[in-house]
Chains A and B, each alone.
Chain A
């Protein structure tokens, strides 16, 4: 079955860039859309953006141009970069397979703390 695993630093300094990677197994990364979603106590679940293997991306306007999602099909990975982070960006970050306007499955999530 499809499995997703997030990885990356658990601690990011304010004003720096958060970088996370999602590794996909059990499915061709070139066959689906893939999303990043985050969950924080303050804002609940928030969709961040998606990518398709052709390079098509779509981002949540609320993140105001700070987001970039990219893909490495040779490694079956897609990545998230979020610049100029603040305490409001602290959250559990999930990656998920995005098909027919729903998310399934989700990765286990990775906690990111923003602190100096």
Chain B
């Protein structure tokens, strides 16, 4: 069973400041095709999750470039270069290599 561990579990950020969320997997997430299937989702209050980043670092269409993803193997990071008020919500990492397992979520609030 794959375990995806996010940290921190909550984050309070001043608008305009950067934020970073870590996601660690209990196993390598390199798939048989050589790609690494880690995606990031944002669940805004009262809404369903929305895709931000896929395959570790590819931004989904329409996602602002202040969002970036990085990492390899078992360690991954989502960075927001300058947090805006509309970025509040819970961020989830997910592995798509094995069995589509999600992290516990990181709640981002604005100070």
Binding site for B on A (CB under 8 A): 35, 37, 44-47, 60-61, 94, 100-109
The 9 closest A-B CB pairs, nearest first, are A101-B96, A47-B100, A45-B102, A104-B51, A106-B48, A101-B37, A102-B39, A102-B54, A109-B48
> In the complex, what residue of chain B is closest to A109 when comparing beta carbons?
B48
Contact B96 A45 (CB under 8 A): no
Contact A104 B101 (CB under 8 A): no
Contact B97 A46 (CB under 8 A): no
Q: Which chain A residues border B47 with CB–CB below 8 Å? A: 108
Contact B48 A108 (CB under 8 A): yes
Binding site for A on B (CB under 8 A): 31, 37, 39, 41, 47-51, 54-55, 60, 92, 94, 96-97, 99-102, 104-105
B50, B100, B105 pick with most chain A CB within 10 angstroms: B100
Please give the distance in Å from A101's CB to the nearest CB on chain B.
Answer: 3
- A61-B99, A107-B48 known; 8 new pairs, CB 8 Å cut-off, are A101-B37, A101-B96, A101-B100, A102-B51, A102-B55, A103-B51, A105-B51, A106-B48
> In the complex, what residue of chain B is closest to A94 when comparing beta carbons?
B48
Contact A105 B104 (CB under 8 A): no
Bound together, the chains give a CA A73 to CA B68 distance in angstroms of: 37
